[in-house]
Amino acid sequence: MKRRRPIMTARSLAIVIAVVAIIAPSLVLSYFAFQSTHDIHSRMDQLMADGRHSEAGDIDRSLQETVRAVEDAILDDIVAIPPEQLPEGLSALKANRAIIRELFLLDRNFQPIFPRPLASALSNTLTAAEEAGPRLEPAMLLLRKAASVEFAQNSPADAIPIYREFVSQARWPRDQAEAALAVAGCLYKLGQFREATEQYDRALKDYHLLVLEPTMSLLAAYQAALSLEKAGDAAAAAERYVAIYEDMVDGRTADPDEHRVAFFKNRIDEALQRLVKDSVMSSDLKERSARVRSRDRFLADLRTWLIVKIKADVPNAVGKRHFVHLFGDSPGPEPHVVAYTLLTRRGEKDWNTLVGFAFNLDALLKQVIDAKLAEISMRRSGLYVIALEDLDQQRLLGEELPERTVTRLRLADPFPFWQIAVTERSSEYAEYYGKQLTWFYASMNLVLIGVILAGVAVVIRDISRQERLAQLQRDFVSSVSHELKTPLALIRMFGEMLSLGRVRSPEKQQEYYQIITRESERLTHLINNVLDFSRIDAGAKQYTFHMADLTEVVRSTTEAYALTLRRQGFEVVLHLDRLPEMWIDSDAISQSLLNLLNNAAKYSRERKSIIVALRREGGHAELSVTDQGIGIDEAEIPRIFEKFHRADDPLVRETQGTGLGLSIIRHVTEAHGGQVTAKSKKGEGSTFTLILPIRTEPEEAAGAKSTR
């Protein structure tokens, strides 16, 4: 009856039992433990987050109250200014309050009262000039003659005395100023830049050009600065450019032609950028330039879009006794916050004046909000780390935030472009408790799972090893059986033929005797290998060491086996150095050499050449056997000395063998205190080398007399 194969192997059964009875329940328990830990941790995180959010809300309200108090103080200062001194008082207030970027005052028609235009002074002076009388015709002829000489004849040097004569004869200040500027222009053309600057300065001083003609004043001031720059005095030129810019901003409504003002502003911008690139402007001058540009932008905003927004928002401010805010993005690169309120004269019900200011946000941060944040942090006993950020989480004020969970709250109006960031200064207790709880459950579960998996792995590994060893033993029994069967069959067959007298030829009888002898030697060799392996595996292998000539042992063993090899067509070559007598087990060495020769013969195909070499290398003897057989895969070399191991190469599998020879050789070599190495290349052959220490005294090998 055919034996049925088991449904599953012992290893598969162990895996199934481990998964069903141990691993699966452990994983379920681990899941619930981790889930419980996660829930506790989440509740703690939520409590801490609620605390941070509450703290951020309190800080926001506190900052709003602080800003409101500052605004109320500014409003009290504005109300205290007498109406007739309002422009001067507002200018002084702006100078004393750094958080005020610009102040403005509008009438009920939303027309600017402050900053005040210079139109009235201009009109009065012009009227006085016009009353001076008509122009003198001879003088005008001189002016035309000078212009002809300068431009038509291109002779500015000849035009200068004519212009000066015209100045002495002209009646109108404007004509005199025009001629004086023409003299300065001629000096500029002649490259006399210092003289040109002095002439422009005299014209500005003598003829009050700022009042007479704003455009002429701008031209003269700009040309004077440009002449200084040409003369090489770049620092003084930069000072003048900034001063001109300031004059233009302060008197922007004095000249009705905005295009001319824009022209000069662009030219001065180009000059300042040029001088900044050349690094000639001082830091103070750069700050002045930045301030006047900021003021210019604000005044432009006031006249273009800010008044429009205020006009639309005024109904929200009616009846309120505090500042109302406008905030958001401006046409410029920075956000704006404008505070305004409506002023009412005594005895009147309706408002008549609108006063407001734009916040200097940098000064507000440094002078007001920074101090308030420090006060809040101190009042909270330093429990939280507090910072003020923009919406891109760039820190503006406060402390550097540590690497932990941060709660951020956007500020209420009018500062929605900032946010408060709050986190615990030290969350050691909560973190410690949460971490301890998490790590406790995690560690216990990991240890449990690790122990279980390790146990399962050990069991599976042991079962796999036992199965593999059992398979190797079955293969070994099969190989040994086959190896025994072949020589026994030959010995029996030829023995029966000889015993029955069926072979009458002496030559045939001799041949059959030799076959019986060879196969018996082969059988003896196989049985010796099996017996040696059995003793080695049981730890009972004994070695008999004595002084012997290794060279003669190798020679005699090789020559004894060479006859058999040559009958199989092999060429056997010996290269033996003469070595001193050594402390060895000559029988074990001889058997190891026979194993190597037997392997070399079995695994050789067409190229039948075997080289046996013995040489001395320092304090060692190296015995090597080289063949030109099928070779060994490089990946297989580390395992070929294991018991029962045979390579998976089909060429190896088709050759009978027990897988014991190389294992025995390694044991013999190690018993002598040496080692065995293998070098091989697939398809080209192999070289096996026994490296034995040369011991010439018994005491040198005292530990090698019996190896178990």
DSSP three-state, residue 7: coil
Alpha helices in 390-505 (DSSP H): 428-499
Give me the half-sphere count of Cα atoms (radius 13 Å) on the Cβ side of residue 300: 14
Quote the CA–CA distance of 482 and 474 in Å, as a whole number: 12
Higher pLDDT, 219 or 228: 228
φ/ψ of residue 224, rounded to 5: -65, -45
Range 352-366 average pLDDT: 88
Is 99 within 8 Å of 296 (Cβ atoms)? no
Range 203-213 average pLDDT: 67
Task: Tell me the whole-structure pTM to 2 decimals.
Answer: 0.48
Residues near 143 by Cβ (< 8 Å), separated by ≥ 6?
163, 166, 170, 175, 178, 179
Q: Return the exposure string of 184-214: e unless at least 16 CB atoms fall within 10 Å of the residue's CB, then b.
A: bbbbbeeebbebbbebbbebbeebebbbbbb
Range 684-708 average pLDDT: 69
For residue 475, pLDDT beyond 90: no
Token match 């293969």: residue? 475
φ/ψ of residue 646, rounded to 5: -135, 135
Higher pLDDT, 293 or 533: 293
Quote the CA–CA distance of 169 and 138 in Å, as a whole number: 9
Residues near 171 by Cβ (< 8 Å), separated by ≥ 6?
132, 133, 135, 136, 139
pLDDT (tens digit, 9 = 90+) per residue, 45-103?
Answer: 787 888 888 888 999 999 999 999 999 999 889 888 887 787 788 888 988 998 998 88
Question: Domain 134-281, CATH 1.25.40.10 — does that match?
Answer: yes
Residue by residue, DSSP assigns 333-401 as SSEEEEEEEEE--TT-SS--EEEEEEE-HHHHIIIIIHHHHHHHHHHTTT-EEEEEEETT--EEEEPPP
Give me the half-sphere count of Cα atoms (radius 13 Å) on the Cβ side of residue 505: 4
Quote the CA–CA distance of 103 and 355 in Å, as a whole number: 8
For residue 313, pLDDT beyond 90: no
Range 512-540 average pLDDT: 64
Quote the CA–CA distance of 534 and 542 in Å, as a whole number: 12
Q: What is the DSSP letter of 241?
A: H
- Tell me what pLDDT residue 587 has: 81
Nearest Cα to Cα of residue 289 among 234, 246, 332:
246
- Tell me what pLDDT residue 131 has: 42
pLDDT (tens digit, 9 = 90+) per residue, 434-460?
Answer: 566 566 666 766 676 676 666 666 666
Quote the CA–CA distance of 475 and 469 in Å, as a whole number: 10
Higher pLDDT, 242 or 45: 242
Q: Which residues pair with 522 in a beta bridge?
A: none
The CATH homologous superfamily of the domain defined by 541-704: Histidine kinase-like ATPase, C-terminal domain (3.30.565.10)
pLDDT more than 70, % of the chain: 69
Where in the chain are the domains? 134-281, 541-704
Q: CA quadruple 135, 137, 142, 147: dihedral positive or negative?
A: positive
User: Treating both helix axes as pointing N-terminal to C-terminal, what angle do 156-169 and 137-147 enclose, rounded to 10 degrees?
Assistant: 170
**Confidence bin at 161 (pLDDT 50/70/90):** very high
Burial of residue 344 (CB within 10 Å: 0-12, 13-18, 19+) is: exposed
Q: Which residues pair with 397 in a beta bridge?
A: 388
Is 272 within 8 Å of 244 (Cβ atoms)? no
- Tell me what pLDDT residue 708 has: 38
What is the layout of strands, in order, in the sheet containing 571-576? 571-576, 609-617, 620-627, 685-693, 675-681
Higher pLDDT, 397 or 683: 397
**Confidence bin at 691 (pLDDT 50/70/90):** very high
- Tell me what pLDDT residue 195 has: 93
**Confidence bin at 119 (pLDDT 50/70/90):** very low
- Same CATH topology for 134-281 and 541-704? no
Residue by residue, DSSP assigns 26-41 as HHHHHHHHHHHHHHHH
Give me the half-sphere count of Cα atoms (radius 13 Å) on the Cβ side of residue 71: 23
Single-letter amino acid code for the residue at 348:
E
Which of 205-219, 230-244, 667-681 has the weakest average pLDDT?
205-219
Burial of residue 583 (CB within 10 Å: 0-12, 13-18, 19+) is: buried
- Tell me what pLDDT residue 436 has: 61
Instruction: Centre a 10 Å sphere on the Cβ of residue 148 and count the other Cβ atoms it contains.
Output: 13
Token match 């600017």: residue? 112
User: Treating both helix axes as pointing N-terminal to C-terminal, what angle do 370-379 and 24-79 enclose, rounded to 10 degrees?
Assistant: 130
For residue 585, pLDDT beyond 80: yes
Higher pLDDT, 352 or 461: 352
pLDDT (tens digit, 9 = 90+) per residue, 534-560?
Answer: 666 656 567 778 888 889 988 888 887
